[in-house]
Structure 1
Amino acid sequence: MPESTTPHVSPTRHAPRFGANYTPTQGWFHHWLDFDLDAVRADLDSLAQLGLDHIRVFPLWPLFQPNRTLIRPRAVEQLVELADAAAERGLDVNVDGLQGHLSSFDFLPAWTQTWHRRNLFTDPDVVAGQEEYLRTLAAALAGRPNFLGMTIGNEINQFSDGPHPDPDRISPGQAASWLERMLAACEAGAPGKFHLHAEYDAAWYQDEHPFTPAQAARLGAATAVHSWVFNGTAQRHGRTGTATEQHAAYMIELAKAWHTDPHRPVWLQEVGAPAPHIPAEHAAHFTEATVENALDCTDVWGVTWWCSHDVSRDLADFPELEYSLGLLTTDRAIKPAGKAIARLVAHWRGRAYAPAPRTTALVLDSDPVTATNRSACAPGGTFFEAWTALAAQGARPAVVLAEHAHDTAHLAARGITATVTPEEVD
């Protein structure tokens, strides 16, 4: 497994970055069909007042590349206009290219579906089309100083395996090859930028899933973590349980177990307070606890909340929890979670970010490449529950792979002075 296809670069910072995944108030991500720059500016104004420094932006792939050889110039221009509007408000921009999958809806171009059904990850023509699309978006923004870089796509690993109803099956080797090619395309379009990929938690928790922790931890400029407690964590441990309030921190530490660079950045790229698992009246507390616990981990690049604004009730068929995840309402009023984020931003402004190393590590017995027994790391799994028990005891546990548990150089580089196995946890 190669360590990276892009340089491990990161914008200079002395405090953690805070941002939001931008969900437009008018039309949700369908706003690209009726792009209104004034409405976008108003949305961004409401985010800037929270003190945020970046947004993550989602083009809809079928609208930007409706034919394999047609990447619509006007759509690309609108993306650049959005990025420029963000710059005017002091917001950096990360762009997710292949959308892909958003809030339970799939957005795939017609040239990959039904009569043109081809594997998204292995078909030569599809992969070449994806490469050109990512390269084009990256190149259009390469000269903008507020352009952070590309994320290949939003949780596109969900297309590769169950429980997706119609997956494009691939092997871990094919997944790695596809990721390397997509990252190289981003780098070709915008050399030296902060390019990465991002998966939902099947990569960490689902046995035999083709996208692996090693890929997440060794390919691209950072490791992306998407933390959602509706995955069984809140159901099992409750809204204020240690596992719930430290789920993001757990995923960060789990990710770091696979790092070959002990100071590789981890980006908490998606995290939110989903109702009813986190009731509305508890959202602010959950937000503060989640972020504070995440920032008790070293080498966190930043926190990007899902999402910026609520989804309008005028839009049908979303899962119920998707309507209320915003930091602001569809009228751009700040919600309790938004106020909590604003307080955190103010607290961290100008402060050095230097959490103490986590000196005790829980040993994970897993293959360092294929990540066997991933289900033990999932909510309810033996490893997950052991880590939670240690955290509840105040141990601030890290995670180390069994192959490194007696590697003094590896442990010293991470500041680990003691290891414990799940069987030894009370």
Structure 2
Amino acid sequence: MLRPVPAAAGSLTPRFGVNYTPRIGWFHSWLDLAPDAVAEDLAAVASLGVDHVRIFPLWPLLQPNRTLIRPRALEDVRTVVDAAAAVGLDVVVDALQGHLSSFDFVPSWLSSWHRRNMFTDPEVVSATAELVRALAAQLADAPNLLGLTIGNEVNQFSASNHPDPDPLSTDQARVWTATMLDAARAGSPSGMHTVANYDAAWFMDDHAFTPDQSAQLGDATVVHSWIFDGTGQRYGARSYEVAHRTEYYLELARAFSPAPQRPLWLQEVGAPRSILEESDVPWFVRSTVENSLQCPELWGITWWCSHDVSRELSDFPPLEHTLGLFDEHGRIKGAGEAFRDAISAAREAAPPAPRGRAIELPVGPQPLLHRSAAAPGGSVFEEWMRASRAGDRPTLQVVREHAHDAVAGDTRTGGAVATRAEV
């Protein structure tokens, strides 16, 4: 169900959306959903000229016990999907929350006395897949459903730097991801179903979730791009690297694509005030959108996020109270005005010109090694930025150091293997 929005000139323009953070009660509002407040929030979001929202029902509320999926909670999700339809917005629903804005939302049947590995325990995986299927089935006939995304950066629970990781192998990560996507497809056969891994999958050498999984599984390749990953700290708030961070990341994702026209989705990008001054934000929004539009196969840009977290809520990192396009009172901010204007300009923009020379990214044996070379400050990142600054419009080319590590289905032997030709 890939439904691009027509541009004025008759060409196809990438879609624009917003990650919806409820203004009243944040995601705790799922505890006692207030449809009128949701409708007010979504009307404000729609006024920006976006065509979709991404929503985040909390996992412990949907499935408080391993064998209990609450019908009322599923109905609440449908209520929000229908409210979005009423203001002309399509919806992507995140399953398995998971992790949001520094807080974990893991059901009690996975913690303390009931601690199990969420990725490898057979009973847990089966129950989790049933939740994904039930959620998809609840929404399957909604005309404005785009699809489900598996988790919000659920892969962070497996990371070696997590305080209580759920370890697994690369093969187990692939099986878990495929199982969840199959469950989404069983519940909603026509949806665009994706997996939302955070950037450890792309940049952390020992991470079980890999770029190949993100690029091969699901109906689009999803990236979450944040300049507090070291880009802003290393290069500075108004640096060339900050302005072109998402363009680079999308080209990295495209390099792993098994098909030339696989959609790329910039599913999260925001303007963190831990890096940017408030006066930098409109520039950052405009440059991020303009440079992302230079990437072929870009399906859409979904901004984080709709509303600031209320300062009445405690223990959030300070930046979480500032990321909204609207403030906690519902007033549009400079970031919202800049995003609205960038969307309007994008409707008139010319299609991207062909990319230039390919920067090689060597990839070692499984689990994928050398990913850190692609991270901010890494050799591949640096080379791409130098070429981009010189006007080369570079792309990236993955080079396999061992033939048996090539993409699925490649049975060649011996020598290095490039997974895609130079563009």
Range of TM-score over shorter length: over 0.9
**1:382 and 2:374 aligned:** no
Aligned length: 404
When normalised by structure 1's length, the TM-score is 0.92
- Is residue 201–residue 207 contact of structure 2 (8 Å, CA) maintained in 1? yes
State the partner residue of 2:64. Answer: 66
Partner-residue secondary structure (3-state), 1:376:
helix
Distance in 2, matches of 1:37 and 1:108, equals: 25
State the partner residue of 1:10. Answer: 2
State the partner residue of 2:410. Answer: none
The structural deviation recorded for 1:145 is 1.0
Q: Residues 53-98 of structure 1, C-alpha deviation per residue, up to 9 Å, x if partnerless? A: 0000000000111011111111111110100010010100000000
User: Which of residues 184, 204, 209 in structure 2 aligns to 1:206?
Assistant: 204
Q: Residues 140-159 of structure 1, C-alpha deviation per residue, up to 9 Å, x if partnerless? A: 11001100000010000000
**1:357 and 2:349 aligned:** no
- Is residue 150–residue 195 contact of structure 2 (8 Å, CA) maintained in 1? yes
State the partner residue of 2:25. Answer: 27
Q: Residues 304-360 of structure 1, C-alpha deviation per residue, up to 9 Å, x if partnerless? A: 0000100000000001111100011111111111111111222233x5763122121
- Is residue 15–residue 353 contact of structure 1 (8 Å, CA) maintained in 2? no
Distance in 2, matches of 1:378 and 1:252, equals: 13
**1:265 and 2:257 aligned:** no
Alignment of 1:124-139 (within 5 A): 124-139=122-137
Distance in 2, matches of 1:361 and 1:166, equals: 39
Distance verdict in 2 for CA 1:162–1:410, change over 3 Å: closer
AA at the equivalent of 1:259 = S
State the partner residue of 1:4. Answer: none
State the partner residue of 2:274. Answer: 276
Distance in 2, matches of 1:321 and 1:356, equals: 36
Bigger relative contact order, structure 1 or 2 (CA pairs below 8 A, ≥6 apart): 1
State the partner residue of 1:230. Answer: 228
Alignment of 1:27-426 (within 5 A): 27-349=25-347, 351=348, 354-367=351-364, 370-403=367-400, 410-411=420-421, 416=423
Distance in 1, matches of 2:211 and 2:69, equals: 32
Distance in 2, matches of 1:333 and 1:18, equals: 20
When normalised by structure 2's length, the TM-score is 0.92
Partner-residue secondary structure (3-state), 2:276:
coil
Distance verdict in 2 for CA 1:407–1:63, change over 3 Å: closer
Runs of 5+ unmatched residues, structure 2: 6-11, 401-405, 407-414
Q: Residues 137-188 of structure 1, C-alpha deviation per residue, up to 9 Å, x if partnerless? A: 1011100110000001000000012211000000000000000100000000
Distance in 1, matches of 2:203 and 2:310, equals: 32
- Is residue 59–residue 97 contact of structure 1 (8 Å, CA) maintained in 2? yes
AA at the equivalent of 2:69 = I
Distance in 2, matches of 1:191 and 1:142, equals: 8
- Is residue 290–residue 346 contact of structure 2 (8 Å, CA) maintained in 1? no
- List structure 1 runs of 4+ shifted beyond 6 angstroms: 404-409
Distance in 1, matches of 2:68 and 2:350, equals: 45
- Is residue 50–residue 342 contact of structure 1 (8 Å, CA) maintained in 2? yes
Root-mean-square deviation over aligned CA pairs: 1.7
- Is residue 256–residue 419 contact of structure 2 (8 Å, CA) maintained in 1? no
The structural deviation recorded for 1:402 is 2.2
Runs of 5+ unmatched residues, structure 1: 1-8, 417-426
- Is residue 81–residue 145 contact of structure 2 (8 Å, CA) maintained in 1? yes
Percent of residue pairs identical: 52
Distance verdict in 2 for CA 1:116–1:16, change over 3 Å: same
Partner-residue secondary structure (3-state), 1:19:
strand
Distance verdict in 2 for CA 1:123–1:407, change over 3 Å: closer
Q: Residues 270-293 of structure 1, C-alpha deviation per residue, up to 9 Å, x if partnerless? A: 000001301111101001101111
Distance in 2, matches of 1:383 and 1:371, equals: 15
Q: Residues 197-251 of structure 1, C-alpha deviation per residue, up to 9 Å, x if partnerless? A: 0111101111110000000000000000000000110011111111111111111
AA at the equivalent of 2:357 = T
Distance in 1, matches of 2:354 and 2:198, equals: 27
